[in-house]
Structure 1
Amino acid sequence: MSLSERIDKDYIAAYKAKETTKVAVLRHLKTAIKNRMVDEMRDALSDDVVLELIAKQVKQRKDAFDQYSKAGRDDLAQVEAAEMVELEQYLPKQLTDDELSAAIDAVIAQTGASGMKDMGKVMGAVLAAHKGQVDGKQASDMVKAKLSA
């Protein structure tokens, strides 16, 4: 079963169970998938593209959560956090800090990266090897620290 099919099935189940948060989150996700299909003139999307869309939505929720928290709007921050939890169920298990550090070290050794000029090469390899498992900002900060040391 493809990821899109799983999302459709979960949406129907959540709708029947009257899980309003999950229904809203999956409705937005289904819309994003449909829009991408229209943009690319395709009948279906690969799981990698769907994962990319999910990761983008998680990042949007995380950014909104941070903004609401800073503004003291805990009520809205909690809504974003609940939506983030629903979306993260569709992402692969995230790498721990140690696993991410080891992956970055391996790519640096493999590519022979020696300074900040090689950051794009390292980031590209790490993100490609661990699709959906890495927070780009966290990886970027770690790569910067390792390449500038």
Structure 2
Amino acid sequence: MDMHERVNTALKQAMKDKAADRLTTLRLINAAIKDQEIALRGADGNGQIGDAEILAILGKMTKQRKESARAYEEGGRLDLAERELSEIEVIEEFLPRQMDDDEVDAAIDRVISDTGASSIRDMGKIMGELKGKYTGQMDFGAVGPKVKEKLC
């Protein structure tokens, strides 16, 4: 079952279960996927997106909600922060398991050796390979500095 089907199945189940908060989050996920499909429809006429694109959308949604939750906590709006965190839990159900630091370091080392990268000029190639293989499994904002450190 592909990601889009998994989201739709979960959406239908949430409707049956009358889980309002979960249903709202799943509808947001579905809307983000449809927005991306519409954007692609104009570009190449196909309008279909794969699991990698959906994982990228879900990763972006998670990151946005973490930032919002942090801002709400700083502003003293714990009720809104809690809602953002509950949305993150629903979104993360569809994301693969996050790699720990040791696994991330091993993946970086493996890609560097596979590509034969030797300088900072190869950083784009390495990041592209990592995003292709590990989308949704690692935080690329934290991976960039690690790659840079290993190449310098």
Give the TM-score normalised by structure 1: 0.87
What are the equivalent positions in structure 2 for 1:19-98 lying under 5 Å apart?
19-41=19-41, 42=46, 44-98=48-102
Letter in 2 for 1:59: K
RMSD of equivalent CA atoms: 1.8
Cα separation, 2, equivalents of 1:104 and 1:53: 23
Q: Which AA in structure 2 matches 1:139?
A: V
List per-residue Cα deviations over 1:96-147 (Å, max 9, x = no partner): 1100000111112222333333221221111211122111112113212322
Give the distance between the partners of 2:78 and 2:151, measured in 1 at CA: 38
- Segment drifting more, 124-133 vs 82-91: 124-133
In the alignment of these two chains, the number of paired residues is: 148
Q: Which amino acid aligns with 1:96?
A: D
| 1:117 aligned counterpart, secondary structure | helix
Structure 2: state its 5+ residue gaps: none
| Residue equivalent to 2:8 | 8
Shift of 1:28: 0.7
Structure 2 distance, partners of 1:30, 1:3, is 11
Q: Per the alignment, in what secondary structure is the counterpart of residue 133 of structure 1?
A: coil
Contact 2:65 2:88 in 1 (8 A): yes
- Give the TM-score normalised by structure 2: 0.86
Bigger mean CA deviation after superposition, 50-59 or 83-92 = 50-59
Matched, 1:143 2:141: no
- In 1, the alpha carbon distance for the partners of 2:5 and 2:115 equals 38
Task: Give the superposition deviation at 1:43.
Answer: 5.7
Mapping for residues 96-111 of structure 1, pairs under 5 Å: 96-111=100-115
Tell me the distance in 2 between the aligned counterparts of 1:28 and 1:89: 14
